[in-house]
Structure 1
Amino acid sequence: MSDNWYVDSGIPEPPVPHGNSRNAANAKSHASDDVQSTMQFSPLPPAAQFTGPSTAQPASDVNLSQFEDRSDEGAATSHGHVGLIVTLVLLFLLIAAAVGGFFAAQSYFSDKAAPGVMFGSRSVAGQNAAQLTQTVTSAVSDSRVEVADNTEHDTKVSLKDLGVMVNVKATVNKLLQAKSSAGALRINPFQRQQVALVSSTDESAMSDYLTTTFVPQNERAKASTVAYDKETKQFVVTVGRQGKAPQLATVKSAVAQIVNNPGSTTSAAITYGSVSMPISEDAARQTADTANKQIDQSVEINNGEGKSFTIPADVLATWIKPTSNLDKGTVTLQYDQDAISAYLQSELPKQLNQDPVTQEDITNAQGTVLTVTTKGVNGVTINNTDTTAQKVLDSLTNGSTQAITAETSVEKFTTNSHVADYTKPNGDMWIEVDRAKQIATVYKGSTLVKTFNVCTGKDDTQTDSGTYYVNIKYQTQDMRGADYFSPGVKWISYFNGGEGFHSAPWNPVGIATGNPVAYGSHGCVNMTADDAQWVFENAGVGTMVKVIGAQPTGAVR
């Protein structure tokens, strides 16, 4: 085969190896193998991809070396760019996830206790108001003070027995607001805040319990106390006495520990001392007088739409808690906010909610309202009873007698209008009362329906002339005035204040003769029972009544 085989085949000539003779021999051997085994030979890249030869090396070596160097440099550059982009993307995603997580956590804990909020020995993070209420109530129930004296007499006592009044709602609010001043760091779980019970202590109740438990009855000292008496419906005073009483310092300290660590049990050792009456009768009497003034005052709540109710005095009394301070010898009044809130949450909707009532009007053809047969009433729904509870508490504290308006949602009533037509045949019903003829005629539009004999008002209480509308009806009613009383009057249809159609079984002569001068009424239209019943049953509220004619001088029939 000729030396031009590579050229004829279109494949560049293989590079000529150089270096030591061994390498050269190997190169020749490889070249020979390539020539003899063309099926296993992989073509080199086209010559156009190589640069021109240098003088230092054969053209083939230079071109291949440059190609390989460029390929390595491009790959390294490409990998570097990709790595940087991946790093930036990952960093961006991590930042986005952190920011998103932060705002998600802020939203999640907006109405819950924050991370790091502690109540007693437990974390309450993530608990909502209902769950916190259960947690606080349970902790109060589990709290105990183990009291013992030097005679090995001991007992475990609840907070309630020791006169401790816990405000559960205020405690829950305090837990929900904990760490709120920390701003964005509120959700930091490593920043902790301990929340204590919101409570007050009636030291007189504490002393009474411990005295009853540890001191024989004939040795006890007792403070004068104030309490509500259901029979007299007044706060009354029980006068105290001097004697032996337990010292409260260690027990008050134990209570303070539990207030700061609810749900726990702590111990207190008590001693005794001889004391005078801890609270005088006069001090208690002054407090009882103040409490009685408060339950005598009217606490009225309205819905802003004409409906109201007054809180009963015996309910007010259950909210007032006389609280004794034995160190100061005083009795002060405190208020059970939880009880106020619970009562109003239950009672306000029952007392002040109202369904809307559609107003029914009768109009003429020009749209003028002739009469309102049913007065419209706005619908009212009580909202946020806690706001009203705070107003009631403020009213009791300040001794205010001003009415309280509850927070409500109002649904405006709608109106239906009926256009009356009193001129066409069989139109709307109306009644004409003719005083001159002493008759009442019923029409439907222009169609005459019925005529009744009547007796109208006497000279000094004449039935008023004019156009009116039936506005209210009673099947039976006791009727009274300045100089008369008529019990059990039947079939009454009022159209003008106290004037109306009704049965008058005591006046058959006046109705028969049509003589209002001698037998007239106090302004009403007297009828027989059957006729008055017909009007009652057929002339609905809104029926027009026209009173015409002059007052007669005597009988017309």
Structure 2
Amino acid sequence: MSDNGYFDSGIPEPPVPHGNSSDDAGTESNANEYGASYSGANARTPGGTGAPAASGSRYGTGSGPDNDNNDLQSTMQFSPLPPTGQFAGMHASDSTLSQFEDRSGAGAAKSHGHVGLIVTLVMLVVLIAAAVGGFFAAQSYFSDKAAPGVMFGSHSVAGQNAAQLTQTVTSAVSDSRVEVADNAEQDTKASLKDLGVTVNVKATVNNLLQAKSSAGALRINPFQRQQVKLVSSTDESAMSDYLTTTFVSEGARAKASTVSYDKTAKKFVVTVGKEGKAPKLDSVESAVAQIVDNPGTTTSAAITYASVSMPITEDTAQQAADTANQRITQSVKINNGGAKSFTIPSDVLATWITPTSNLDKGTLTLQYDQDAISAYLQSELPKQLNQDAVTQKDITNAQGTVLTVTTKGVNGIGIKDTDTTAQKVLSSLTNGSTDAIAAETSVEKFKTESHVADYSKANGDMWIEVDRAKQTVTVYKGSTKVKSFNVCTGKDSTQTDNGTFYINIKYQTQDMRGTDYVTPGVKWISYFNGGEGFHAAPWNTVGIATGDPVSHGSHGCVNMLTSDAQWIYQNAEVGTMVKVTGAQPTGPVR
């Protein structure tokens, strides 16, 4: 509020009266906060001239000398209060007062206008900053959720994550129904599954999550909507079978020839169809299409009938069955790029193949379930093809030459990216290929450990000497003799080979076979040269006792008493050196 009692609102105040009140000849009456009405001969006009205001003037109605009855209708103009303080006594002509009036009038309004503009601009900047922050927060929030404006049927799914969308889609599929009726007042309420409709929930959820992704920054605009429908396929044969079973008596039905997998016979077999009466599918297919667009609802369909021939012939079905059987009997083998491989069982392959009919075209085609293939390989391949790294163990001489490998190194292999392998399997089944499939793997190179053998020092590394001339086996540790046994080596036609060898594999019991013999249950076998090795020979005690390989010799092995062969088996490790020396005797040596 200003000094003269008016609010500083930017509206010009009433004019300030000029002159000194002591000069007024008239008397002041009816004073109020807006001004005063004057009476008397010398009542001043607002201009301060002393002349009465003319009737109808801008400021009010003047009164003459006789108008002193204070009649409100003849009241003088409202005059402003006189100035006070430092401006008292100033006239309108004073430059200082004029400047004051300019500042307190239009100038004040301009000042307040500038302040209002600044406040507006600040508020605008704050709102823009809040909007930008909200935009990026919304982008982040909806990065793994359905965007605003995404509709599934008649419902918004904005903000739902993959798990919630899966539940939404599953519930909608469960709630979807088609009320089917015919002109004979037969009716049924069928589910999508009844009508041969298969819904791909995973693909539907993915479409909901990806909806509006092409809109860029406008993806989170709730006013831009996108409708997402079910991802599904319809087996017309299954739909026809359901409707026929429901509405047509057994004897009047027309059926397509079908193909199915017989678990007992382990192959796909044909069920031959027949001519007859069948429901028309167009109205039901139209109703299903409506549900696909608007899931979770109930629609209706009125069916009629037609006399039809066998929709799919026996020959067509047999061709499809033959192709399916060829697919499950082909070798779908997957390897890990190393020593391991895995052949997918035929009964598993059969679960991935679905013969799908097209009644309008009279065809049967094979469909392959890629999701089932991926799930199976993700579970099974690591169990079948993963392998741990095995450290290779070498025996070397002092010069570093590898004398023998006691344990062969194996790379570590891990299965990865089974979806890529699943795509290869799908391609193999589709094309009928029998080529081996290499799985996607990661490889860890095996390590190598070496042992430097010393056979010359006392109590050094173990080695065994087979002396054919003496028909003995002597065990040494370096230069130290440990033990000696009587033996019988190979006969003249299959002599035990001379040379330096190493024990490479051992069996506690094994059935031994050759071109002209089979000896089951041979015990304590330690092979050192192909099929030649130490083993128990309780059937050849005479040959061992006499040292006579000519009359009682083996097929190349070193025959030993059971306890002696057991000692070799238990004490001579894989990698133990075996030296066969000496000439073949011509008869018994003992």
Deviation of 1:435 (Å):
1.9
Question: 1:438 aligns to what?
Answer: 471
Q: How does 1:8-407 map to 2 (within 5 A)?
A: 91=125, 111-407=144-440
Deviation of 1:189 (Å):
4.1
Looking at structure 2, the residues matched to 497 and 91 of structure 1 have their Cα atoms a distance apart, in angstroms, of: 89
Deviation of 1:179 (Å):
3.2
Question: 1:529 aligns to what?
Answer: 562
Q: Which moved more, 1:143-152 or 1:100-109?
A: 100-109
Equivalenced residue count is: 484
Looking at structure 2, the residues matched to 266 and 336 of structure 1 have their Cα atoms a distance apart, in angstroms, of: 29
Looking at structure 2, the residues matched to 126 and 360 of structure 1 have their Cα atoms a distance apart, in angstroms, of: 59
Q: Which amino acid aligns with 1:226?
A: V
What is the percent sequence identity of the aligned residues? 81
1:136-181 Cα distance to aligned partner (Å, 9 max, x none): 3333333222222223322221222211122333334433443343
Q: Which runs of 5 or more structure 2 residues have no equivalent in the other structure?
A: 1-18, 22-113
Higher helix share: 1
Q: Which amino acid aligns with 2:509?
A: T
- Taking structure 1 as reference, are residues 422 and 228 closer, same or farther at Cα in structure 2, changes over 3 Å only? same
Give SS of 2:426's match. helix
Deviation of 1:99 (Å):
6.5
Q: Which moved more, 1:358-367 or 1:327-336?
A: 358-367
1:429-464 Cα distance to aligned partner (Å, 9 max, x none): 211112222211111222211111112222232222
1:456 aligns with 2:489: yes
TM-score (norm 2): 0.75
Q: Which amino acid aligns with 2:279?
A: P
Give SS of 1:371's match. strand
Give SS of 1:507's match. helix
Give SS of 1:161's match. coil
Q: How does 1:381-530 map to 2 (within 5 A)?
A: 381-530=414-563
Q: Which amino acid aligns with 2:300?
A: S
Q: Which amino acid aligns with 2:565?
A: A
1:301-336 Cα distance to aligned partner (Å, 9 max, x none): 222222111111111111111111111111111122
Instruction: Note if contact 1:167-1:338 (Cα within 8 Å) is conserved in structure 2.
Output: no
- Taking structure 1 as reference, are residues 547 and 87 closer, same or farther at Cα in structure 2, changes over 3 Å only? farther
Deviation of 1:537 (Å):
0.8
Instruction: Note if contact 1:357-1:376 (Cα within 8 Å) is conserved in structure 2.
Output: yes
Instruction: Note if contact 1:167-1:337 (Cα within 8 Å) is conserved in structure 2.
Output: no
1:350-384 Cα distance to aligned partner (Å, 9 max, x none): 22222333333333333333322222333333223
Looking at structure 1, the residues matched to 172 and 442 of structure 2 have their Cα atoms a distance apart, in angstroms, of: 37
Q: Which moved more, 1:191-200 or 1:478-487?
A: 191-200
TM-score (norm 1): 0.79
Deviation of 1:84 (Å):
8.6
Q: Which has the larger radius of gyration?
A: 2
Looking at structure 2, the residues matched to 21 and 115 of structure 1 have their Cα atoms a distance apart, in angstroms, of: 76
Deviation of 1:388 (Å):
2.1
Instruction: Note if contact 1:381-1:409 (Cα within 8 Å) is conserved in structure 2.
Output: yes
- Taking structure 1 as reference, are residues 104 and 540 closer, same or farther at Cα in structure 2, changes over 3 Å only? farther
Q: Which amino acid aligns with 2:453?
A: A
1:262-307 Cα distance to aligned partner (Å, 9 max, x none): 3332222212222222112122122112111111211112222221
- Taking structure 1 as reference, are residues 138 and 519 closer, same or farther at Cα in structure 2, changes over 3 Å only? farther
Q: Which moved more, 1:315-324 or 1:384-393?
A: 384-393
Looking at structure 1, the residues matched to 486 and 175 of structure 2 have their Cα atoms a distance apart, in angstroms, of: 83
1:540 aligns with 2:573: yes
Instruction: Note if contact 1:501-1:527 (Cα within 8 Å) is conserved in structure 2.
Output: yes
Q: Which moved more, 1:366-375 or 1:273-282?
A: 366-375
Supply the RMSD in Å over aligned alpha carbons: 3.2
Question: 2:66 aligns to what?
Answer: none
- Taking structure 1 as reference, are residues 241 and 430 closer, same or farther at Cα in structure 2, changes over 3 Å only? same
- Taking structure 1 as reference, are residues 141 and 416 closer, same or farther at Cα in structure 2, changes over 3 Å only? farther
Question: 1:77 aligns to what?
Answer: none
Looking at structure 2, the residues matched to 142 and 409 of structure 1 have their Cα atoms a distance apart, in angstroms, of: 46
Deviation of 1:111 (Å):
5.0
Looking at structure 2, the residues matched to 89 and 359 of structure 1 have their Cα atoms a distance apart, in angstroms, of: 76
Give every structure 1 segment of 4 or more consecutive aligned residues whose post-TM-superposition deviation is greater than 6 Å.
83-90, 97-101
Deviation of 1:103 (Å):
6.0
- Taking structure 1 as reference, are residues 489 and 109 closer, same or farther at Cα in structure 2, changes over 3 Å only? farther
Question: 1:9 aligns to what?
Answer: none
Give SS of 1:413's match. coil
Give SS of 1:506's match. helix
Question: 1:556 aligns to what?
Answer: 589
Q: Which runs of 5 or more structure 1 residues have no equivalent in the other structure?
A: 1-19, 23-79
Deviation of 1:249 (Å):
0.5
Looking at structure 1, the residues matched to 582 and 133 of structure 2 have their Cα atoms a distance apart, in angstroms, of: 86
Looking at structure 1, the residues matched to 400 and 143 of structure 2 have their Cα atoms a distance apart, in angstroms, of: 54
Q: Which amino acid aligns with 1:240?
A: G
1:32-68 Cα distance to aligned partner (Å, 9 max, x none): xxxxxxxxxxxxxxxxxxxxxxxxxxxxxxxxxxxxx
Deviation of 1:196 (Å):
2.3
Give SS of 1:540's match. coil
